[in-house]
Amino acid sequence: SSVWQGVEQGPEDPILGVTVAFNKDNHPDKVNLGVGAYRTEEGKPLVLDVVRRAEAAIVADRSVNKEYLPIIGLASFCKLSAQLILGADCPAIVEKRTTTVQCLSGTGSLRVGAEFIGKHYHQTIIYIPDPTWGNHNKIFPLGGVSVRKYRYYDPATRGLDFQGMMEDLHSAPSGAVVLLHACAHNPTGVDPTPEQWEQIRRLIRSKKQLPFFDSAYQGFASGSLDRDAAPVRSFAGDGGEMLIAQSYAKNLGLYGERVGALTFVCGSPDVAKRVESQLKLVIRPMYSNPPGHGARIVEAVLSDKQLFQDWTVELKGMADRIITMRHKLFDALKQKGTPGRWSHIVKQIGMFTFTGLNKDQVVFMTKEYHIYMTADGRISMAGLNSKNVHHLAEAIHAAVT
């Protein structure tokens, strides 16, 4: 007998549970396209060369110890992170209107942001895109922020439902928080154009809503850190306030190191200082202070000219390999004459393709072809390589015919 006798079996996580199922499968041709983690052409996880070099220097440095970091993390890491996403010449940084805290990757940054909004912001409603990364639905209510959806994806065009998005933001209350994927929208791979971003920005500002950017893929969408940050920078450039959650999981491959940052762009330096003081009070009882190792790696890469330059090359290499896989998959389906339109595979952006395959087709592909993906038909393009892409094309062909 147990005091936990009444505890019910919980469901697997919709994304991480795919890997659990994959690991149980013994088939030699199995493919995991579930989790959004980069794989090499050989299908292996990648530790970036710049990370290895930075890490070696940190380990060799006898002055680096394992003491606690401050509650808000490594100061230089925070400063460099804000510069990376906003641009070093961003007026808000120059005017000292920003505050950045080191958090536990993107998820932890969103969670701290949620907690702060729940405690210190008058409007505890956040609008998130439909669909979105599933964890958004769970993170915000824990901070006391209720979640509502705005239209985002149009299944008919497999593109952006721009009109629906604008209508929903227009009818959202003044002051509401609006969650925006900075680039490479997950799960759809559909981003607004620069012109659409401009209209979105104007609408959000005119409604006095508060933008909260989730930046989990900077550099991964286009291969350029600056280009992928453009929407965030245009919001910061208009002088308005905003929040940004950054993750180094994907673009530096630091998934398990849990390193990310939460930045507040505030109306004045004085407000930024007070916000920071309250962020400390939010963080201290949650996890006290963040881990040091990953932040030191990021600090080293961002502060060293050569490492930074080499990082941009490695990052572009990852982004380009993914884009190549889009074309290989598209070509393979075209060659087979697979029914349906598949141009969205090459049009969508970032790590994922939202295939349009339905739940039954996904189940079929897993059962018959040992291909694992989330039930919404999202596939991680990073899990594809020259060897397995034809296997996937065959499976899709069989699923739709």
- Token digits for 358? 């339905």
Determine the 3-state secondary structure of 262 from DSSP.
Answer: strand
Interface stretch with ligand PLP, choices 102-110, 286-294, 355-363, 370-378 (CB under 6 A): 102-110
Q: By C-beta, is 255 or 264 nearer to ligand PLP?
A: 255
Do 151 and 168 touch, CB atoms closer than 8 A? yes
For residue 242, give the 3-state DSSP assignment: strand
User: Token digits for 86?
Assistant: 């906003």
Distance set, CA 384 to CA 33, 111, 133 (Å):
7, 31, 21
Pick the binder of ligand PLP from 50, 92, 249, 365 (CB under 6 A): 249
Cβ nearer to ligand PLP, comparing 249 with 272: 249
**Could you give the CA distance from residue 261 to residue 273 in angstroms, rounded to a whole number?**
17
Does residue 107 interact with ligand PLP by CB under 6 A?
A: yes
* First-to-last C-alpha distance (Å) of the chain: 52
Nearest to 37 by CA among 138, 186, 182: 186
Q: How far is the CB of 8 from ligand PLP (least distance, A)?
A: 27
Quick one: 260 or 292, whose CB is closer to ligand PLP? 260
Catalytic residues: 133, 214, 250
Q: Between 287 and 364, name the residue whose CB sits nearer to ligand PLP.
A: 287
Q: Match 């989730």 to its residue by tokens.
A: 214
Identity of the residue, 244 or 392, whose beta carbon is nearer to ligand PLP in the bound complex: 244
Helix axis angle, 389-400 relative to 359-369, nearest 10°? 130
* CB nearer to ligand PLP: pick between 286 and 400: 286
Q: How far is CA 103 from the centre of its chain?
A: 14
- DSSP 3-state of 324: helix
Task: Kindly state the smallest distance separating residue 292's Cβ from ligand PLP, in Å.
Answer: 17
Q: Binding of ligand PLP at residue 218 (CB under 6 A)? A: no
Q: Quick check: 106 binds ligand PLP (CB under 6 A)?
A: yes
Q: Least distance from C-beta 228 to ligand PLP, angstroms? A: 13
The answer to whether 137 and 147 are in contact (CB under 8 A) is: yes
Scanning 48-56, 73-81, 105-113, 384-392 for contacts with ligand PLP by CB under 6 A, the matching segment is: 105-113
Binding residue count for ligand PLP, defined by CB under 6 A? 12
Query: In whole angstroms, how close is the CB of 67 to ligand PLP at the nearest point?
Result: 25
Preceding amide of 70 cis, omega within 30 = no
Q: Does 376 bind ligand PLP (CB under 6 A)?
A: no
133 near ligand PLP, judged by CB under 6 A: yes
How much of the chain is in helix, strand and coil states, percent to nearest 5? 50, 15, 40
Minimal distance, residue 41 CB to ligand PLP, in Å = 22
CB-CB neighbours of 90 under 10 Å = 20
Cβ 260 to ligand PLP, closest distance in Å? 5
CB closer to ligand PLP out of 22 and 369: 22
Interface stretch with ligand PLP, choices 100-108, 112-120, 168-176, 320-328 (CB under 6 A): 100-108
Phi, psi of 371 (to 5 degrees): -105, 125
CA distances from 379 to 51, 144, 267, 341 (A): 27, 32, 40, 17
Q: Rule CB under 6 A: is residue 36 a binding residue for ligand PLP?
A: yes
| Beta carbon of residue 351, minimum distance to ligand PLP (angstroms, whole number) | 8
Residue 164-183 contact track with ligand PLP, rule CB under 6 A, x = bound: -----------------x--
Binding site for ligand PLP (CB under 6 A): 36, 105-107, 133, 181, 186, 214, 216, 247, 249, 260
